[in-house]
A and B are shown apart, each in its own frame.
Chain A
Amino acid sequence: MATVSPTPLLKDELDIVIPTIRNLDFLEMWRPFFQPYHLIIVQDGDPTKTIKVPEGFDYELYNRNDINRILGPKASCISFKDSACRCFGYMVSKKKYIYTIDDDCFVAKDPSGKDINALEQHIQNLLSPSTPFFFNTLYDPYRSGADFVRGYPFSLREGVTTAVSHGLWLNIPDYDAPTQLVKPLERNTRYVDAIMTIPKGTLFPMCGMNLAFNRELIGPAMYFGLMGDGQPIGRYDDMWAGWCTKVICDHLGWGVKTGLPYIWHSKASNPFVNLKKEYKGIYWQEELIPFFQSVALPKDCTTVQKCYIEISKQVKAKLGKVDDYFNKLADAMVTWIEAWDELNPSGDISAKIPNGASK
């Protein structure tokens, strides 16, 4: 049950992962909320360029040379010239939680005009349970001022561990290129004061712009795929990670929340550039969604890594015929897990499935 005690800072348990190719000026606005935390900056693009980090932040920065040096031949699974490279940051982090944010996302204001501490809300979301087995019509029952409604079985009121907290965006909404082209002026001005658990068995489009997760639990599933330079597709990195993550969370009995917090998304990327990147994804996703909706993970997949490897096998078997890209992606998924386990040797969280909430 939600209490009125302050949200713990978790400053030694959470890393903020930021991919960037330009600069990190946006951090100035986030300073009051981010300064206590350690940042992992993953520099995309030209490694000879110097990224200036504002004074006073504690950070480590990795460019392509670092990624190649640390992963050796396994670096092939990390995208180049695409913000998908951020997942390298998840891999090298040693913390329990990750918050990832894009460098064109700023502090938003709530309807009362107050600045929103997005990180604090994400932490609250991650530290309180999820309720994936039965939908609560008053949304998050653990929030102050809310509860479970009449008819909600008491045996389900403890909830399960929350693995992912998916935040939203005011101003420039996360639309695909065709929608952007048709509605270039549309801005999201609607502040929906809710957090909810996405029900078990339901997939969703996970956006990586304002995302937090329990790295210890679900980290290995947060692979952002092969995108960008040399790849036939872009802007589907977070989508891919989201579908894999949701399938695995559903299997292992963990929750995924969406809703608050909002950030202010300031930059609309070029829709024509986006269209070129997304083009294949738009019709591939017609195959991908039924694929993920029908993935069945065997009972002996009791760890995230095992689940992920199993998914990679099914990707190869069923999506390889859609395009050879998926054969490469399936291989990269395996490489990712190998690299993850190498860099995180003891991190093997088993979960009781199904119905048993772990931790």
Chain B
Amino acid sequence: MSLSIKDHEIDIVIGALRSDLTSFMSEWRPIFSRFHLIIVKDPDLKEELKIPEGFNLDVYKKPDIDCVVGTSTSTIFSGYSCRYFGYLVSRKKYIISVDDDCYPAKDNKGILVDAVAQHITNLTTPATPFFFNTLYDPFTEGADFVRGYPFSLRSGVQCALSCGLWLNLADYDAPTQALKPEERNSRYVDAVLTVPARSLMPISGINIAFNREVIGPALLPSLRLGGEGKFRWETMEDIWSGMCVKVACDHLGLGVKTGMPYVWRNDRGDAIASLRKEWEGVKLMEEVVPFFQSVRLPREATTTEDCVAEVANVVKEQLGSKDPIFARAAKAMVDWVMLWKSVGSSTSSPGA
């Protein structure tokens, strides 16, 4: 039931927070080599990038970013947010994005998981957000809709976002990982499911894919923690962006899937050190979640850009006075919509 995708409709965007990408690229080579890659170097990273030969790629570093958006704006792409620059300049329909400390995982049978193929399958088969299917993804081989699933809902809706998972180092926050320093995720759950409409979840930026044409502007750098650092434990930017994306998808009738594919996430960093340094994010979520659960977008918001602008408005009105970080985030969202309009334009026309 999936549409046939041409490889040239896909960009793989990697935010490089480490300079030596040799082992990363080599491990992913069997899966990535067919595709065009966009590598964006964290503007704060001083060392030269080391990238092996044999890939079809474009690399963007600070001077390139400055050139496109101006030196004052380029600061929004610092740290993990550098990947958003790749989303901005891509001209492809689908984007797959993986952190540079993640490697191909193996499934329960010991076979290497083609994360790109699974993400594309997720994005090109319908999502079913209006009613929960107890056998999970009904469009996958060997499964279907169960008894009691209304027939009028069985064609589903377009899937805009595919959220993958992680074996080994799961995406826990610093307190959780610090409390269980040895815990590693070894459970491979053989399922993809649609996250129901109006249900929110923490959307991690570590392993995601999306339809840029449909939802591109909603993946955005805006919430930056005061002590944001170079470990995922020290960020919330993706969680914030993910809330915006889900709210927009729910409003526009688009689907979000979660589950496979898995990537193998390497051990990196020290949860306790991160915890000492940064716990602001954990605190902020107490405000962020109820806020997004209450957001209702007006009927007039018919595009993703409209949705982002509306959310920014509400953030400014309702959260802006609670903490300056939210006022800044709201402004960043408004700026992003303008940046997307001027730089992000649309993808190239089909067949080009």
Contacts and interface: CB of A to CB of B under 8 A. Distances in A.
- A and B from one assembly? yes
Interface of A: 111, 133-139, 145-156, 166, 168, 173-176, 179, 183, 186-194, 198-207, 235-236, 238-239, 242, 258, 278, 282, 285-286, 289
B46 interface: no
A153 B292 CA distance: 13
A147 B180 contact: yes
Interface string B227-257: 0000011001001001000000000000000
B201 A193 contact: no
Contacts of A200: 199
26 contacts: A135-B200, A137-B201, A137-B204, A138-B165, A147-B176, A149-B171, A150-B204, A150-B233, A150-B236, A151-B239, A152-B173, A154-B282, A173-B146, A174-B147, A175-B144, A187-B142, A188-B135, A194-B191, A199-B196, A203-B132, A205-B133, A207-B134, A207-B146, A236-B148, A286-B151, A289-B153
Contacts of A136: 201-202
Contacts of A242: 148
Interface of B, secondary structure class, is: loop
Given A186-B144, A193-B188, A137 B163 contact: yes
Contact of B185 (A145, A198, A205): A145
B189 interface: yes
Given A135-B195, A282-B151, A285-B148, A192 B202 contact: no
Scoring B142, B183, B202 by chain A CB atoms within 10 A of each residue's CB, the highest score goes to: B202
B283 to A, nearest CB: 9
Contacts of A239: 147-148
Contact of A193 (B144, B170, B189): B189
Nearest to B193: A196
A179 B144 contact: yes
Interface string B77-100: 000000000000000000000000
Contacts of A146: 170, 185, 187
Contact of B165 (A137, A152, A166, A235): A137
B5 interface: no
Interface of A, secondary structure class, is: loop
Contacts of A137: 163, 165, 171, 201-204, 258
Contacts of B143: 173, 188, 190
Nearest to B175: A154
B202 A150 contact: yes
B131 interface: yes
B56 interface: no
Top 7 A-B pairs, shortest CB-CB distance: A205-B148, A151-B202, A135-B201, A151-B239, A199-B199, A204-B132, A202-B196
A31 B190 CA distance: 30
B134 A205 contact: yes
Given A145-B187, A192-B190, A174 B196 contact: no
Contacts of B286: 153-155
Given A149-B204, A151-B204, A188-B142, 16 more contacts: A134-B202, A137-B171, A147-B176, A148-B172, A150-B171, A150-B239, A153-B286, A154-B285, A154-B286, A175-B146, A176-B147, A202-B131, A205-B147, A206-B148, A239-B147, A258-B134
Scoring B146, B190, B196 by chain A CB atoms within 10 A of each residue's CB, the highest score goes to: B146
Given A137-B163, A192-B189, A286-B151, A149 B144 contact: no
